[in-house]
Amino acid sequence: MNTLAAARPDFDQQGERSDGERLAAAMTSFVSDFGVTAALHMESCVRCGACADACPFHLATGEAKYTPIHKLEPFRRAYLREASPWAPLIRALGLVKAPTIADLQAWQELIYDSCTMCGRCTLVCPMGIDIAELVRSARHGMFKAGLVPDRLALMDRAARQWGSTATPGDDLPDILAEVSEQYGVEIPCDLEHADILVTAAPAELDTHTKALADAARLLNRMGASWTMHQGGFDAANIGFNNGDVELQETLTRAIIDTAVKIGASTVILPECGHAYGAARWEAARWYGKALPVRIIHMTEFLDESIASGRIRVKPVGDSATYHDPCQIVRRGGLEAAARRVLGALGLQLIELQDHGVEGQCCGGGGGVVSNQRAAPLRYRWFEIKKAQVEATGTRRFVTSCGQCRITLDTGAKQAGWDRRTESLLELVADNLAD
């Protein structure tokens, strides 16, 4: 046994604060997040356990600690003691134990390693409790306490310094020039005026550069007025995942403000699930009014462009199954759009056992794939996902989220599985009609 690994604590922490200071920071954040909606959710749980069989990590392990509502236990206790209608009496009589720093340290695994905030538990809850949203609020308190997995904390610091987890904005022109030369496609950068601002996920600036080039190919084929821009190019969702709400607002505002600056009416988000949630749904709350630009996911762009005839595709003539990204489909509403695109490609779609709004998570969203400590748990879940794909008997496996693709490909490599996860965007670009 590796003694260093054996001695490693089960949690990470940042900064030099005392345990008491960390606990106080978390509790202050929890209380500030207890609005009317959170209170209704906290009061509504009847402990029925319906959420257990919705969670991929509970299904993969059978361990009770991975039951979604259990992941909120310290948050629930904080609510009962500090914000519930009977809070003074509960404190006076000691009816609910106050969360301790040890509770928060043990809790880190449950809300960062074994929760993707996929929302499937929310879907099945008979009381309508949005467990995924409550986990996100809980992560906010953990971030304030400096109790975030180290890898996510490192990415957070990079985004604060650079405006991106992948690269400083100053490097964007060089990166785009390299991708442009590699794939033989023009990628405009920093145009003063454009109708469309295109953003990227970090992987598209490194691992999935073909997706970036293919987006450019489609837009150029249409004759669109578009650009990428140093001022707002990375649709990363690291603040969303970490609980760093202030950072996520800064990142999302940068994109929208850049679009306004160049006169763009539309922002196209990359094939990334949580980017969609952060920029499409959260931004309006931060602005406090209707957004000045339309924000759409790449799947919406493909669907609308094919339907309008601006993009024409030739039939592939094959069978395929489709992985529904949680944030795009279940929490974003784009269930039909991807299927229309697959239909335009002439693919015979054979659905997974769990699909559409009931689809099962890839197991790596919400920052879990970036948290190496969670890898063994992800791999256990992947075996179930793999079995569902194999049961369809299809030749192609497609998704519309780059993070899902990374998670699924990593799982396939670990399992020695020879199936590749394909990008919906790349599939369209590879089958353009003349």
* Residue 144 shares a structural domain with residue 165: no
Domain count, the chain: 3
pLDDT at 2 (0 to 100) = 33
* Residue 314 shares a structural domain with residue 366: yes
What's the domain range around 158? 151-305
Would you say residue 1 lies in a domain?
Answer: no
* Residue 36 shares a structural domain with residue 97: yes
pLDDT at 65 (0 to 100) = 92
Would you say residue 234 lies in a domain?
Answer: yes
For residue 269, give the CATH number of its domain: 3.40.50
* Residue 109 shares a structural domain with residue 238: no
Q: What is the residue whose two structure tokens read 């997974």?
A: 352
pLDDT at 279 (0 to 100) = 87
Q: Tell me the pTM.
A: 0.93
Would you say residue 3 lies in a domain?
Answer: no
Could you give the C-alpha distances from 209 to 199, 286, 423, in angstroms and in order? 13, 31, 12
* Residue 165 shares a structural domain with residue 298: yes
Would you say residue 164 lies in a domain?
Answer: yes
DSSP percent split of the chain into helix, strand, coil, nearest 5: 55, 10, 35
Would you say residue 434 lies in a domain?
Answer: no
- Within a 13 Å sphere around the CA of 1, how many CA atoms are in the beta-carbon half? 6
* Residue 139 shares a structural domain with residue 155: no
Query: In this structure, are residues 258 and 197 in contact, taking their beta carbons and an 8 Å threshold?
Result: yes
* Residue 274 shares a structural domain with residue 357: no
Please identify every stretch of the chain with a pLDDT value under 70, giving residue numbers as ranges: 1-9
* Residue 297 shares a structural domain with residue 155: yes
Would you say residue 4 lies in a domain?
Answer: no
* Residue 23 shares a structural domain with residue 144: yes
Would you say residue 281 lies in a domain?
Answer: yes
pLDDT at 9 (0 to 100) = 54
The two beta strands, 348-349 and 294-297, are: unpaired
Q: Which of 411, 417, 418, 413 is nearest to 60 (CA)?
A: 411
Of 250, 276, 305, which closes a domain?
305
Query: In this structure, are residues 238 and 155 in contact, taking their beta carbons and an 8 Å threshold?
Result: yes
pLDDT at 286 (0 to 100) = 79
* Residue 290 shares a structural domain with residue 199: yes
* Residue 158 shares a structural domain with residue 139: no
Largest Cα–Cα distance in the chain?
A: 76
3-state secondary structure of 189: strand
CA 129 – CA 135 distance, rounded (Å) = 11
Of 133, 148, 163, which closes a domain?
148
Of 148, 170, 196, which closes a domain?
148
Task: Work out the burial of residue 93: count CB atoms within 10 Å of its CB; fewer than 13 is exposed, 13-18 middle, 19 or more buried.
Answer: exposed
Tell which phi-psi region holds residue 49, choosing left (phi > 0), alpha (psi between -120 and 50) or beta.
Answer: left
Helix H or strand E segment including 399: strand 396-399
* Residue 126 shares a structural domain with residue 173: no
How crowded is residue 246: how many other Cβ atoms within 10 Å of its Cβ? Answer: 11
Would you say residue 55 lies in a domain?
Answer: yes
**180 residue type, one letter:** S
